[in-house]
Amino acid sequence: MKKQEKPKSGMPLLIIGLVFVAAIIGAIYLYNSGSGSGTTSTASSNSTAARPTPNMANAPAGAPVGVNMLGSQTAAVTVEEFADYQCGGCAAVHPVMKELASAYAGNRNFRFIYRHYPLAIPAHDKSYEASAATEAAGLQGKFWQMQDQLFRNQAAWTANPNYRQIWSEYASNLGMDVQRFQADIAGIQTKNRVDADIQRGRALGVSSTPTVFVNGKPVPFSELNIASLRRIVDAEIASVASAQQSNAAPAANANQ
């Protein structure tokens, strides 16, 4: 130990302050960019530029534009999940689907589409409204956040008569305009989006949830785990890449 002067200049405080400001700006940037890019919620804005066209998203003809999608709009491999917010199996599979989307985040050959398929059974009395609630959250750019909240907290609201209050709390916690959210749940725009997904599910013969398709092929419930899904998706990606190569080869020969 020895006598030592305290730092005289304000330089350390300046550096610390700059890093603090940079961290805050970085967090705000990440927050804003994360809520918009990469995710396509039903109607996070009136713009349709970031959304796939109905055709690209395999939506039925005449369905409203906009689907809830993660990943590349031009991906060769599409994982499409039909789910119900009051279905226990869907809540159980939810982390798996998030994990899958994480595993392929940034992979231009992969995209994940979430479809509402609220079952019309007495035990699922709030399911349709829950789908509408996530679409209402989507109108404020918070579809995936609300979807996550509803699945993660399914047990807390599914049998609670005050479920709307609980959803409003989620909306408030997500920084949403709660009054607008409540009004939008009953709005025609959200209803149309949910109905469009149901229509697509019926067209594909979906009868239970969760139902997952990989490039249109149904995945058995027993294989809705991360290892099996990754294997299936990897096989699809490899098959698409192989088909692209074989298509490219004759074209290259023809040019010679």
Partner 1 sequence: MAEQEVPELETPGLRNLPLAAGVVALVGLADSVYLAVKHFTAEPVPCSLVEGCEKVLTSPYAEVAGVPIAAAGAAAYFIAFALAVLAAYGDGRMWKLFGGLATLMAGFSLWLIYLQAAVIGAFCQFCLISAATSLTLFLIFLTSALISKETSMK
- Would you tell me which residues interact with partner 1 (CB under 8 A)? 1-7, 9, 11-12, 15-16, 19-20, 23, 26-27, 30-31, 34-35, 38-39, 70, 95-96, 98-99, 101-103, 105-106, 144-145, 148-149, 152, 226-227, 230
Q: Quick one: tokens of 52?
A: 């796939």
Q: Quick one: tokens of 58?
A: 């395999």
Q: How many CB atoms lie within 10 A of CB 197?
A: 27
CB of 19 to partner 1, least distance (A): 6
Please, which residue, 31 or 238, has the CB nearer to partner 1? 31
Q: DSSP letter string over 125-183?
A: TTHHHHHHHHHHHHTTT-HHHHHHHHHHTHHHHTT-TTHHHHHHHHHHHTT--HHHHHH
CB of 233 to partner 1, least distance (A): 13
Sheet holding 77-83, edge to edge: 39-40, 68-71, 110-116, 77-83, 211-214, 217-219
What are the C-alpha distances in Å from 19 to residues 8, 12, 23?
Answer: 20, 11, 6
CB of 13 to partner 1, least distance (A): 8
CB of 173 to partner 1, least distance (A): 9
Please, which residue, 150 or 196, has the CB nearer to partner 1? 150
- Please state whether beta strands 110-116 and 77-83 pair in parallel, antiparallel, or not at all (unpaired): parallel
How far is residue 78's CA from residue 108's CA, in Å, rounded to a whole number?
11
Q: Residue 79 pairs with which residues in a beta bridge? A: 112, 214
Please, which residue, 14 or 243, has the CB nearer to partner 1? 14
Please, which residue, 34 or 88, has the CB nearer to partner 1? 34
Q: Quick one: tokens of 247?
A: 């298509």
CB of 198 to partner 1, least distance (A): 24
Please, which residue, 204 or 233, has the CB nearer to partner 1? 233
Please, which residue, 67 or 206, has the CB nearer to partner 1? 67
- Identify the DSSP state of 55: T
CB of 201 to partner 1, least distance (A): 23
